[in-house]
């Protein structure tokens, strides 16, 4: 049974890694050219749609007085202009073409652990006239909305700690006579941006259309984590749908109640969240440059002559932090998915964060969490070790039975079962306690490899990033089986040595071939862990050390 357990454990690892690599990883092209805008239009007061998320006072404020006078005729060669938004959390660049976001830098997250490393940039687009996220009015007869250059009287918004939220307002008018207003409410102390859309029909005929939204980004060449997801995600009919770039060679279509649509990479995300959760359509595709494009289209609506249609959305551009996403109250936290063992992983993550609050070091928090898990599983592992020791005592009897009935497997099995019954030994006693712990390990595997809390989190000495492999010194040459950077994987080597010590202390199986296999396992695991995040290796090393102590105690008490 020990042999079967080890083989099952190794196969589980290989399946996990294969699954991770299988399900890992360009800019949207929009029609350019602007129609000549109409001259100032007379303000018309009309009730908004019944289920609109903006009140009538908001509509009137957005459309009357100074608002309409800002909409001047546009030259055919009008150029887009940039508006800078600077807050304590991020620095963004908005373009009046769209309008869209062409840059979004997170001030509290750096690209690397190197001193002076620039902040993380969420926008990764090449050779594109578009941006990261864009909202528009889409005529019912058009497949895609027309790119429009808006006008704004603002050149920048700078918010400090304690500042009040400010509005960034864009206005435009289409050739058909539809007045468009997009208002972005910027907050100084949080990542979400409130977006209000107001469409006013100044013509003498009804205008039919949809609210269209798009998110596009270029996936990273490397995901940066094991079992991490990069691609398009949406919450469709209360179910999480994740579409990696590899599955978007053909356009994907979705229809149903869409609570949110997002582009995700390893640690960050850009999400579009409608205020009204209603039936909508979404599409996902790849551009020739490899960028992921997700488009959202609301249910069709009609704006009567002189009528106004309003809608409200929330844009989230920031870290995939479980606490922050949960605080939004829009089910965006469901974007963080740790797989089959998500129901175990999230409580473990909250526990890890709890310990961090008191010790201030995620490496120490991992050690404390490992000790806690070891205490919880102490009775099971204790029973497992005792069962293996009892099985070792039966090895001579089992060897004689195998020799005696080597040509009669059916009789051999009967004799072995009789032997177990006589000595009151359960052959599964050493296996089941170990198998029960596998879900916990896989949950920790996902957490320690993907949680943003461990990104660039230092431990001690040279270990300054628990989400990256451990490397002491950096070598200018390649090392077989090792991912860059190349160096000495100290934690991994210590883990392999601890496994070897633990294996030496484990009761030796009667089968020589099985004994050789088990002595070979420390080398196998060392090679497997060489590119794993150092946080995961730290957990396994700590667990091995605790197991050695537990085995020593059992051996001493039974001697």
pLDDT digits (tens, 9 = 90+) for 123-151: 998 766 678 999 999 988 777 777 889 99
> Per the structure block, which two tokens stand in for 89?
């959390």
Beta strands in 352-444 (DSSP E): none
Flag whether pLDDT at 447 surpasses 60: yes
Arithmetic mean of pLDDT, 198-219: 93
Confidence of residue 515 (pLDDT cuts 50, 70, 90): low
SS3 for 298-327, per residue?
CCCEEECCCCEEEEEEEEEEEECCHHHHHH
> Per the structure block, which two tokens stand in for 270?
């850009």
Contact 313, 284 (CB under 8 A): no
Give the least confident one: 223-227, 341-345, 434-438, 516-520: 223-227
- Give the span between the Cα atoms of 433 and 374, in whole angstroms: 12
Arithmetic mean of pLDDT, 363-386: 84
Question: How does DSSP classify residue 97?
Answer: B
Q: How far is CA 452 from the centre of its chain?
A: 9
- Give the span between the Cα atoms of 224 and 236, in whole angstroms: 27
Q: Which pLDDT belongs to residue 422?
A: 76
If you search the block for the tokens 């769209």, which residue do you land on? 98
Flag whether pLDDT at 91 surpasses 90: yes
Flag whether pLDDT at 430 surpasses 60: no
Arithmetic mean of pLDDT, 246-266: 91
Arithmetic mean of pLDDT, 168-189: 93
- The half-sphere exposure of 40 on its side-chain side, counting CA atoms within 13 A, is 9
Flag whether pLDDT at 406 surpasses 80: no
Which of 74, 30, 80, 77 minimizes the C-alpha distance to 173?
74
Arithmetic mean of pLDDT, 432-452: 78
The DSSP line for 203-235 is: SSS-EEEEEEEEEEEPPPSS-SSTT---EEEEE
Helix (H, G, I), strand (E, B) or coil at 440: helix
Q: Which pLDDT belongs to residue 300?
A: 93
Confidence of residue 26 (pLDDT cuts 50, 70, 90): very low
Q: Which pLDDT belongs to residue 73?
A: 41
- 0.85 cut: is pTM over it? no
Which of 43, 39, 17, 153 minimizes the C-alpha distance to 96?
153
- Give the span between the Cα atoms of 110 and 2, in whole angstroms: 46
- The half-sphere exposure of 395 on its side-chain side, counting CA atoms within 13 A, is 17
* Widest Cα–Cα separation across the chain: 103
Q: Which pLDDT belongs to residue 99?
A: 94
Q: Which pLDDT belongs to residue 121?
A: 94
pLDDT tens string 279-331: 999 999 998 888 999 999 999 999 999 999 999 999 999 999 999 999 998 89
- Between β-strands 82-86 and 156-158, what pairing exists: parallel, antiparallel or unpaired? parallel
Give the least confident one: 200-214, 391-405, 521-535: 391-405
Angle made by CA atoms 398, 399, 402, in degrees to the nearest 5: 85
Kindly list the distances between the CA atom of residue 410 and the CA atoms of 403, 405, 417, 451, in Å, as whole numbers in the listed order. Answer: 14, 9, 11, 51
Q: Which residues pair with 318 in a beta bridge?
A: 269
Flag whether pLDDT at 66 surpasses 50: no
In a 10 Å sphere around its CB, with 0-12 CB exposed, 13-18 middle and 19+ buried, how is residue 65 labelled? exposed
Q: Which pLDDT belongs to residue 226?
A: 56
Instruction: Return the higher-pLDDT residue of 40 and 348.
Output: 348
% pLDDT > 90, the chain: 42
Mean of the per-residue pLDDT values for the chain?
80
- Give the span between the Cα atoms of 277 and 142, in whole angstroms: 23
Confidence of residue 60 (pLDDT cuts 50, 70, 90): very low
Question: How does DSSP classify residue 454?
Answer: G
- Give the span between the Cα atoms of 103 and 195, in whole angstroms: 17
- Give the span between the Cα atoms of 165 and 193, in whole angstroms: 10
- Give the span between the Cα atoms of 106 and 109, in whole angstroms: 6
Contact 86, 156 (CB under 8 A): yes
Arithmetic mean of pLDDT, 235-252: 90
Flag whether pLDDT at 55 surpasses 60: no
Helix (H, G, I), strand (E, B) or coil at 111: coil
Flag whether pLDDT at 70 surpasses 70: no
Q: Which pLDDT belongs to residue 39?
A: 34
Contact 309, 199 (CB under 8 A): yes
Confidence of residue 508 (pLDDT cuts 50, 70, 90): low
Flag whether pLDDT at 390 surpasses 80: no
In a 10 Å sphere around its CB, with 0-12 CB exposed, 13-18 middle and 19+ buried, how is residue 463 labelled? buried
Q: Which pLDDT belongs to residue 419?
A: 76
pLDDT tens string 109-122: 999 888 889 999 99
């Amino acid at each position: 049974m020990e042999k079967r357990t080890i083989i099952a454990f190794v196969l589980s690892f290989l399946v996990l890694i294969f699954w991770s690599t299988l399900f890992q990883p360009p800019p949207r092209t929009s029609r350019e050219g602007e129609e000549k805008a109409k001259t100032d239009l007379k303000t018309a007061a009309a009730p908004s749609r019944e289920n609109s998320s903006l009140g009538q006072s908001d509509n009137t404020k957005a459309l009357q007085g100074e608002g309409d006078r800002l909409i001047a005729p546009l030259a055919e060669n009008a150029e887009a202009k940039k508006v800078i938004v600077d807050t304590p959390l991020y620095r963004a660049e908005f373009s009046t073409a769209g309008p869209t976001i062409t840059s979004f830098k997170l001030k509290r997250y750096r690209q690397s652990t190197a001193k002076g490393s620039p902040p993380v940039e969420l926008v990764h687009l090449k050779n594109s006239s578009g941006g990261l996220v864009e909202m528009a009015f889409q005529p019912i007869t058009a497949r895609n909305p027309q790119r429009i250059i808006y006008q704004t009287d603002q050149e920048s918004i700078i918010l400090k700690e304690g500042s009040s939220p400010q509005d960034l307002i864009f206005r435009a008018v289409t050739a058909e006579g539809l007045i468009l207003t997009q208002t972005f409410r910027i907050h100084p102390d949080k990542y979400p941006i409130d977006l209000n859309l107001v469409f006013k029909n100044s013509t003498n005929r009804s205008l039919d259309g949809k609210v269209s939204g798009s998110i596009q980004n270029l996936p990273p060449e490397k995901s940066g984590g094991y079992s991490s997801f990069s691609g398009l995600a949406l919450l469709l009919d209360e179910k999480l749908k994740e579409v990696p770039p590899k599955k978007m060679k053909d356009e994907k279509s979705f229809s149903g109640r869409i609570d949110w649509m997002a582009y995700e990479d390893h640690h960050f995300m850009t999400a579009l969240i409608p205020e009204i959760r209603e039936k909508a359509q979404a599409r996902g595709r790849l551009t020739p440059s490899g960028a992921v494009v997700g488009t959202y289209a609301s249910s069709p609506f009609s704006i009567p002559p002189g009528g106004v249609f309003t809608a409200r959305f929330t844009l989230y551009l920031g870290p995939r932090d479980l606490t922050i996403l949960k605080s939004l109250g829009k089910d965006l936290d469901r974007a963080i998915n740790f797989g089959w063992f998500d129901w175990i992983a999230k409580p473990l993550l909250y526990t890890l964060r709890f310990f961090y609050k008191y010790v201030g070091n995620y490496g120490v928090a991992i050690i404390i969490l490992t000790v806690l898990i070891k205490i919880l599983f102490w009775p099971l592992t204790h029973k497992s070790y005792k069962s293996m020791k009892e099985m070792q005592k039966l090895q001579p009897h089992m060897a004689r039975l195998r020799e005696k009935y080597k040509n009669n497997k059916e009789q051999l099995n009967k004799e072995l079962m009789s032997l177990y019954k006589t000595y009151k030994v359960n052959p599964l006693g050493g296996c089941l306690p170990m198998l029960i712990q596998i879900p916990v390990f896989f949950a920790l595997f996902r957490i320690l490899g993907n949680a943003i809390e461990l990104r660039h989190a230092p431990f001690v000495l040279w270990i300054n990033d628990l989400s990256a492999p451990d490397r002491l010194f950096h070598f200018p040459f390649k090392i077989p089986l090792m991912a860059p950077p190349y160096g000495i994987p100290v934690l991994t080597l210590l883990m392999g040595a601890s496994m070897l010590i633990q294996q030496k202390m484990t009761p030796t199986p009667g089968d020589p071939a099985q004994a050789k296999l088990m002595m070979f396992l420390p080398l196998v695991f060392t090679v497997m862990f060489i590119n794993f995040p150092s946080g995961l290796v730290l957990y396994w090393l700590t667990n091995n050390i605790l197991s050695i102590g537990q085995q020593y105690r059992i051996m001493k008490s039974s001697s």
